Amino acid sequence: MTVMNYRKAIAEGIGRALRSDQRVVFLGEDVGAAGGAFKSTVGLYEEFGPDRVWDTPISEQAIVGAAMGAAMTGLRPIAEIMFTDFLGVCWDMVANQVAKARYMSGGQLEVPLVIRAHGGAGLGFGAQHSQTWENLLMSIPGIKVAAPSTPRDVIGLLAAAVADPDPVILLEHKALFDAKEDVPDEPFLEPLGSASIRRTGDDLTLVALSAMVPVAVQAAATLEAEHGISAEVIDLRSVTPTDTATLLQSVERTSRLMTVEENPRPCGWGAEIASIVAEEGFTFLDAPIQRVTSANVPVPFAANLEHATIPNADTVVKAVLSYS
């Protein structure tokens, strides 16, 4: 086991993929000699060279288009989009080309492509560089979507994504870069569509994703220590596919469900979770499903306003106390 932070785990995960399979290539803006805009790909260009690590022009359409073509001809590309928000620039490539090629070719074409993007608020990057788009991406048939919350999951989910025959989008959160964890030295993967129980509990199920997972865990610790409320925390990890079984088993035991989302409320991923539980586990519930979300506004640049729009542990604790 080696202790590493989330930022280092990104480079480690990509490096492991490049070492294990000669078909894997890595491309994106400033990912090579510069070591990445967030220094999350340091060392890869020096180890693997320009034949495996490709610095691209400033064009998200070109990055995804080249990666899609490479995938269809037998490579397994990992493409980086610097900010999740910039997926909007290449939305046609993602939603209409990458997602649909296998279906529209009757299975003759596969697109084993991984698209990584840095997202999330909390660091003062402003409205056009701070969004989390799990809610938008999960609405596109043909794409798998995951969001790691820990260094181990950065590596494990990337390994699973590279091995998958279908396109996978991994959304890495900028605010988690310094989070540290023990990571196995040997190869491993974390299956897509498998949630993780970060804290067990009996009174309430909190479902979170990405940077909201440590928020939910902190809130659960406060609830137990100060209010005697035992909250279970589920890290969803993947929104497409969704681990319905783990969700329903937890709610069957706790009888209450609350989602903790870094999305504006309308059409957030928590709405889909609420729909699933309402349809398949309604009899388990002793109270209505509740959602804690970000404010329905563009992410502010000013630090005090930005922090006021994003759920934190106190927000979650207050919501639980009013709910319980």
Catalytic pick among 12, 129, 190, 306: 129
CA distance 144 to 178: 26
Q: Report helix, strand or coil for 156.
A: helix
DSSP at 98: I
Q: How far is CA 278 from CA 73, 246, 252, 257, 262, in A?
A: 43, 15, 12, 10, 22
Per the annotation, the verdict on 272 as an active-site residue is no
Question: 227 an active-site residue?
Answer: no
Structure tokens at 257: 């469900």
Segments of the chain assigned E as strands = 2-5, 24-28, 53-55, 76-83, 114-119, 144-146, 168-173, 180-183, 196-199, 204-208, 231-235, 238-240, 257-264, 290-294
**Other residues' Cβ atoms within 10 Å of the Cβ of residue 47:** 12
For residues 188 and 156, the answer to whether their CB atoms sit within 8 Å is: yes
> Which residue numbers are catalytic?
60, 129
